[in-house]
Each structure stands twice: as C-alpha cells, then as structure tokens.
Amino acid sequence: MSGTTVSSAGLDPRRRRLKFRLWHRGIREMDLVLGGFADAELASLNDAELSEVETWLDIPDQKMFAWVNGAEPAPAEIDTPLFRRLRGFHSPGSSV
C-alpha cells in the first residue's frame, strides 16, 4: 500500500486537512498507521475526537509508533478509548 485510495470528497475542510497530515507524518510506518485509520474512521469522528487526533500530530513519530505497536505503554493522557481504537485497528486479528 502506497497511500490513501479513499477520496477526500465530501469531507469538511478540517477533516481534509487532518487526512492529509495523517498520511504525511514523516516516517512511512506512521503514514500507514494513522492514514489507514483516517481513511476508515475520520468521517465518523465527533469534534472532541477530531481534537484528540490533532494532538497526536504533535507526538514524535517514533514515540507514537512505539505506543501504537505496544513496544512501550502509552501514557494515561494518550491511552484513551480513541487511541485504543487506533491500536485495535492495527492489531493482528482485528476485525476492523
């Protein structure tokens, strides 16, 4: 997979910007992790969840990747239900 195959058409400007930024993180692994999640979930997130996703963009790639893949425990302020959805989205055997 080289990038998104889901159109941004129909998304409001905030979601379009987020989608672009989630697919252009820096390291390719995080592009795929966050971009894939964005393709699947972004349209259905509420304003509070969108704000939370926006905070993820300030976290360094290596740190975020370690938290997502379980190499390091995520701090309590990051380990929210939405973050657990992100982690579950990429877990082996996930039905999402």
**Residue 71 belongs to some domain of the structure:** yes
The DSSP string of the chain is --S--S--TT--HHHHHHHHHHH-SSSHHHHHHHHHHHHHHGGG--HHHHHHHHHHTTS-HHHHHHHHTTSSPPPTTT--HHHHHHHHHTSTT---
Residues of the chain with pLDDT under 50: 1, 94-96
Could you tell me if residue 44 is inside a domain? yes
The predicted structure's pLDDT at residue 85: 95
Question: Is 51 domain-assigned?
Answer: yes
Give the pLDDT confidence score for residue 49 in this predicted structure.
97
Residue 8 and residue 39: Cα distance in Å, rounded? 9
Check which CATH number belongs to the domain holding 67 and give it.
1.10.150.250
At residue 38, the pLDDT reads 93
Domain count across the chain: 1
Residue 40 lies inside a defined structural domain of this protein: yes
* pLDDT value of residue 92: 58
